[in-house]
Amino acid sequence: MIEAIQSWDESVLVWIAGHLRNPVLTPILSFYTQLGNHGLLFIVLAVLMLFFRATRKAGASAGTGMFLGLLVTNLTIKPLVMRPRPWITIPDFAALVAEHDPNSFPSGHSCCAFAFAVALAIVLPQKWAKALALAAAAVMALSRLYVGVHFPTDVIAGTVIGALCGLAGALIVRTAVSWHTARKNRERQ
């Protein structure tokens, strides 16, 4: 079973590299994927959201979700699974960007992006903002395949974990805000 999954992963990644890579998309997706290094793009956006009352809960929810994703993905699963990156296992396969973490499963970029996006999709009322966050996360996840630093199952797992962490982040912040509001109301009485 594991061999079949590995074979499928490798064939999909080789197909992407052979059929989708092109001179227009390569610099765009290479740049965008690197904005996700260490969660930078999504962390900066979440922190900026904390400065505005209208987006403060969304920023806190996204930040909490991304922190949970970091704990689950980068600090727990990756060191336990230790799946090698594609260029290590596929002969003559070239990644388009440098990646210093040798562990591939699951995708931390995908996890962070979807933790951010799902938290925003739950908390923000604007449909356009929800759609934009989810689209940005999807492009980040797909960029990891395009540049060749993750297998499809790495990205799928990172996406699912990230979505669950984003949901948990939104629920944690909602619970904390409700608890804080109830406490303040009790103190006023």
Map out the domains of the chain with their CATH numbers.
Answer: 20-179 (1.10.606.20)
What confidence tens digit (pLDDT) does each residue in 140-183 have?
A: 999 999 999 999 999 999 999 999 999 999 999 999 988 988 88
State the first-to-last Cα distance of the chain, in angstroms, to the nearest integer.
62
- The answer for 94, left when phi > 0, alpha when psi is -120 to 50, beta otherwise, is beta
Predicted TM-score (pTM) above 0.75? yes
Query: Which residues are paired to 8 by β-bridges?
Result: none
Strands, E assignment, the chain: none
